[in-house]
């Protein structure tokens, strides 16, 4: 039998992770919230050495399946390592209830877990930091209109913006998640198991494993100015917390205000950094109010095809009719990324969402001002969304239309 055939046979031998014989003495304990990272212990979700695993699921989030396909083709290197970050630590890292959806030590594995790595433990980073330049047409337009000016540091002479960007893979500490949501840990584990089609049997068979690496999208933070200034409440901080909208953010669809609000948040963050402050834009993968694009496009069709056309008066009703709920997002976990940077005060929060605002303030971060999107940046077809949201109680400093007036706020017809 040749080597290739032996590997094929071994790959087809399935070991169920829920079996009791998968509890190994080589698995390192995780003491969530411990101040000493050596006491806290590393999160090990790799499958190369099963006896070392101490987490449910695997790294890479929603990209796990693509990785599996690459491994199946024999194209994926398994001895891969990444660099250590230089952010933190902050006091918030040591509160087991403050950070429950990301691993604050996930960007420091080579430094704080060097001994474990040298012993052969396969510990992967879940946070990575790099530098970049952003090339955004709306920023070039803001420069042309005089709202922004290149300074050579934050905004380069050609209009590019220099940023630090940080990627986070989700790492869920299940007891903390359950407490944050106000339910029992056992109930949370049972619901997660059922609603993922039994994808992770350890949720109900391995109560000793307290960390889940969920198969969801990652989160990215873009910092304008010095990232270390984010933790200084004396320095002016501009913040946009943005939930993904591929159609608008990437392709410029005009039915919503997502891209204009995002680019306005970037513009304001860059200007704040130029003035000696610091800005941050955090991008969360919660496409279509966490309902996904298929559901979102079905809602768009329902809005455009309904009798009387697309109207602000029926904006939320159409979503609920199609999806069964107006919004599947929850923001209770969102502030964790802000606490990762040690943020204590946000001077200017770019968000009209009361759910986001309440989650941030409820987590102990002070917000001094809220900023809604300027009227001149709202696309004509997005007026339906905007007026419906304001009438529903979203934050605004402007006029709120009556129910009667909402009927007259109309969007384009489907065929136009």
Mean per-residue pLDDT, 269-283:
98
pLDDT digits (tens, 9 = 90+) for 6-51: 443 444 555 555 555 555 566 889 999 999 999 999 999 887 766 7
Nearest 5°: CA angle at 395, between 392 and 398?
A: 95
Inter-residue contact 360 to 349 (CB < 8 Å): yes
Q: How confident is the model at residue 231 (pLDDT cuts 50, 70, 90)?
A: very high
Domain range list for the chain? 9-116+171-215
| Nearest-angstrom CA–CA distance, 103 and 61 | 14
Query: Is the pLDDT reported for residue 90 higher than 90?
Result: yes
Query: Residue 167: what pLDDT?
Result: 95
Query: Residue 228: what pLDDT?
Result: 94
- Residue 348 to residues 73, 237, 322, Cα–Cα distance (Å): 49, 6, 35
Query: Residue 306: what pLDDT?
Result: 82
Query: Residue 20: what pLDDT?
Result: 55
Inter-residue contact 81 to 74 (CB < 8 Å): no
Mean per-residue pLDDT, 378-388:
86
Mean per-residue pLDDT, 129-140:
96
Active-site residue list = 327, 329
| Nearest-angstrom CA–CA distance, 326 and 322 | 9
pTM for the predicted model, two decimal places: 0.88
Of 305, 316, 283, 292, nearest to 385 (Cα)?
Answer: 316
Nearest 5°: CA angle at 377, between 373 and 378?
A: 85
Q: How confident is the model at residue 114 (pLDDT cuts 50, 70, 90)?
A: very high
Query: Residue 25: what pLDDT?
Result: 61
Lowest mean pLDDT among 6-15, 295-304, 329-338: 6-15
Query: Residue 4: what pLDDT?
Result: 42
- Chain centroid to CA 19: 33
Average pLDDT, the chain: 87
| Nearest-angstrom CA–CA distance, 123 and 103 | 13
Block residue for tokens 């952003």: 134
For 415, half-sphere exposure in the C-beta direction (CA atoms, 13 angstrom radius) is 1
């Amino acid at each position: 039998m040749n080597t290739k055939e032996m590997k094929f046979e071994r790959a087809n031998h399935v070991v169920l992770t829920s079996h009791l014989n998968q509890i190994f003495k080589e698995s390192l304990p995780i003491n969530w919230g411990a101040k000493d990272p050596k006491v806290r212990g590393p999160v090990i979700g790799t499958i190369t050495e099963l006896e070392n695993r101490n987490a449910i699921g695997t790294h890479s989030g929603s990209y796990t399946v693509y990785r599996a396909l690459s491994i199946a083709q024999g194209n994926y290197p398994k001895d891969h390592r990444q660099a250590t970050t230089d952010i933190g630590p902050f006091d918030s890292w040591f509160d087991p209830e403050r950070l429950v959806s990301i691993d604050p030590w996930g960007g420091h594995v080579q430094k704080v877990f060097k001994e474990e790595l040298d012993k052969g433990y396969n510990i992967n980073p879940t946070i990575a930091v790099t530098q970049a330049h952003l090339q955004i047409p709306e920023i070039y337009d803001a420069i042309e209109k005089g709202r922004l000016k290149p300074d050579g540091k934050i905004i380069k002479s050609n209009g590019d913006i220099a940023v630090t960007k940080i990627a986070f893979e989700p790492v869920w500490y299940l007891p903390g998640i359950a407490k944050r949501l106000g339910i029992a840990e056992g109930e949370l584990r049972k619901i997660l198991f059922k609603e993922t089609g039994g994808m992770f049997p350890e949720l109900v068979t391995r109560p000793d494993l307290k960390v889940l690496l969920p198969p969801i999208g990652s989160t990215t933070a873009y910092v304008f100015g010095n990232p270390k200034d984010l933790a200084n409440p004396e320095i002016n901080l501009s913040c946009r917390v943005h939930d993904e909208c591929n159609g608008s953010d990437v392709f410029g669809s005009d039915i919503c205000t997502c891209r204009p609000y995002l680019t306005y948040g970037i513009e304001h963050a860059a200007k704040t950094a130029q003035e000696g402050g610091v800005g941050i834009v955090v991008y969360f993968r919660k496409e279509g109010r966490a309902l996904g694009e298929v559901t979102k496009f079905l809602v768009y069709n329902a809005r455009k095809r309904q009798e009387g056309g697309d109207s602000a008066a029926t904006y939320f009703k159409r979503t609920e009719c199609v999806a069964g709920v107006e919004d599947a997002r929850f923001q209770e976990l969102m502030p964790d990324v802000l606490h990762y940077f040690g943020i204590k005060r946000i001077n200017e929060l770019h968000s009209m969402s009361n759910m986001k605002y309440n989650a941030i303030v409820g987590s102990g971060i002070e917000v001094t001002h809220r900023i809604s999107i300027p009227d001149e940046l709202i696309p004509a077809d997005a007026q339906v969304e905007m007026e419906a949201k304001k009438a529903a109680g979203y934050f605004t400093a402007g006029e709120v239309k009556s129910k009667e007036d909402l009927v007259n706020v109309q969007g384009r017809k489907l065929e136009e």
